[in-house]
Structure 1
Amino acid sequence: MNDTARSRIAGAPISWGVCEVPGWGYQLPADRVLTEMAELGLGATEFGPQGFLPEQPRAKAELLASYGLRSVGGFLPVVLHTDHDPLSEVDAFIDDCLASGAGVVVLAAATGRDGYDARPELSEVEWKALLGQLDRIADHAAERGVVAALHPHIGTLVEDAADVRRVLEGSHVGLCIDTGHLVAAGADPVAITLAHLDRVRHVHLKDVDAGLAAQVQDGSLAFSDAVSQGLWTVLGRGSVDIAAMISALEGHGYTGWYVLEQDLKLTGEPEGVGPRADVAACLAYVEGALA
């Protein structure tokens, strides 16, 4: 494997089915996940959900280091559209990042509800609050030496192309481009990336089964059920031109992370090789695209 390419590619526990959503599925232990990441040649990972790693920042960092891994940051769903102040949650997450050499806080505009199968419509007042909090968090994160990037995500308050446009026009926060979630919301992640290369701070790579994504978009299939049925595919086997997006980012001077993140739901202990086989295939694809 090319060491230069490998140094830009990170894993994510959700590719092994480890997720923050209650009842999501069978949760593999950290030892198996981190061991397999290391065996695949990955040198970095996102944190995963609360409880996957130890609670204390130094303990997180020490556990990852014991597997030869560092963290790049991770996913932080926070409520941004009410009078709730999210800064204490953000600061605790930044503490984790700084302890383990991570640099990215991947924000999601949480609804305040469990799961991602439904979301409310925001009023103009709520949108104003959300955009103001994004700028506040982005500025605060920069002051502490890390980057905050908003992740458009199914079932959150910023999910589709119209939502992304409103964020881009109404705030200065950077974006975490997630190729899968944008497609599932009916948006074109490659077009959004090409039009806003300067705003991309972090990248989650998924490929997508177009038929299942269409059912999520028209409401005939719940997002969580689509994931169970194989919404996310191995990179290069779905409908997203991942290679073109990587090429555009690299040509523009993007130096950030590419996170392999094929959200998975497990019904029990995997037989045989398990999730690592798909992660290995995705890793090879991205390494080739970066070569």
Structure 2
Amino acid sequence: MNRTLESIAAAGYSGLELFDGNLLPFEGSIDGFSQAVAAQGLAVAGVYSGGHFIYPDAHEDELARFDRSIALAAAVGARHYVIGGGAIRSSGRRDEDYRVAGEFLDRIAERATSAGLVASYHPHLGSLAQAPDQIDALFAETSIGLCADVAHIAAGGGDPVNVIARYADRLAYVHLKDVEATTNAFLPLGEGVLDLDAVIDAVVEAGYDDWITVELDGYPGDQDAAAARSLRFLQGTKLA
């Protein structure tokens, strides 16, 4: 973790987002983790968690885990609490799954908000809400904010500019990365097919004024160099 914090700071970033699973080892020494973050001049922009959501019998257990996760996020001073996922049944998605998941997301968001966090749902490849119609079906059943991960939206068959505009009043957080057209492999900013200038215009037009997090899932190259390249790309846009 210290190596990761050093790399993020060295690349020029001012904050980080991490999975709640990365916080669990520090549950008994969370102050030490916070001090390590601060020592690098960083802030915790967000904490990401996930779940199945669609199985009511599992909600009690899932809530117990979310309560732990939310408490850790609040303890490290995170601004955002990002929730991703939503299981897909072996038989496929059912209309009722969106209703059950939407109502459950509202319960999680209420807990996160009560802890001082900004809650949002992250549409994700391989989840209940991947394609544009699936995102719409879920968001019709919940009031939670949107975490717009533009590469996941594009890889799921959507236009991130349209999704951001459609949910401008619910845009709570933004994840940026680029994507390759044929394989959906994620890439540093400016090295894929996304029209990132149009994406940034949509974010600005939505009135968004909060953290923007750069990600790069599963990238096989030099991740330190890729992080630096993505930041240089952003420094050449209107976000600079």
TM-score normalised to structure 2 length: 0.88
1:40 matched to 2:16? no
Q: What one-letter code is carried by the residue in structure 1 that aligns with 2:65?
A: E
Q: Does 247-256 or 193-202 show the bigger shift?
A: 247-256
SS at match of 1:170: coil
CA offset at residue 210 of structure 1?
0.8
SS at match of 1:211: coil
Aligned to 1:181: 152
1:167 matched to 2:138? yes
Q: Does 198-207 or 68-77 show the bigger shift?
A: 68-77
1:82 matched to 2:55? yes
2-side partners of 1:120 and 1:32: how far apart? 43
2-side partners of 1:127 and 1:203: how far apart? 23
Aligned to 2:171: 200
2-side partners of 1:210 and 1:52: how far apart? 34
Aligned to 1:136: 107
Unaligned runs of 5+ in 1: 1-29, 113-117, 214-230
Alignment of 1:1-20 (within 5 A): none
Aligned pair count reads 234
Q: Tell me which of 226, 233, 236 is aligned to 1:288.
A: 236
Query: Is the CA contact 2:98–2:137 (under 8 Å) kept in the aligned structure 1?
Result: no
Query: Is the CA contact 2:84–2:122 (under 8 Å) kept in the aligned structure 1?
Result: yes
1:262 matched to 2:216? yes
SS at match of 2:205: helix
1:63 matched to 2:11? no
Aligned to 2:82: 106
Identity value in percent: 29
Aligned to 1:243: 197
Distance 1:196 1:125, change over 3 A: closer
Query: Is the CA contact 2:20–2:73 (under 8 Å) kept in the aligned structure 1?
Result: no
Unaligned runs of 5+ in 2: none
SS at match of 2:66: helix
CA offset at residue 31 of structure 1?
2.6
CA offset at residue 248 of structure 1?
2.3
SS at match of 1:212: coil
2-side partners of 1:235 and 1:189: how far apart? 15
TM-score normalised to structure 1 length: 0.74
Q: What one-letter code is carried by the residue in structure 1 that aligns with 2:232?
A: A
Q: What one-letter code is carried by the residue in structure 1 that aligns with 2:18?
A: F
Q: What one-letter code is carried by the residue in structure 2 that aligns with 1:137?
A: I
List 4+ stretches of structure 1 deviating above 3 A: 51-54
Higher RCO structure, 1 or 2 (CA under 8 Å, sep 6+): 1
Q: Tell me which of 211, 220, 225 is aligned to 2:182.
A: 211
Query: Is the CA contact 2:12–2:228 (under 8 Å) kept in the aligned structure 1?
Result: no
Q: What RMSD, in angstroms, separates the aligned Cα atoms of the two structures? A: 2.2
Q: What one-letter code is carried by the residue in structure 2 that aligns with 1:34?
A: L
1-side partners of 2:22 and 2:203: how far apart? 33
Q: What one-letter code is carried by the residue in structure 1 that aligns with 2:71?
A: D
1-side partners of 2:65 and 2:219: how far apart? 27
Distance 1:265 1:40, change over 3 A: closer
SS at match of 2:3: helix
CA offset at residue 119 of structure 1?
6.9
Distance 1:132 1:283, change over 3 A: same
2-side partners of 1:59 and 1:121: how far apart? 44
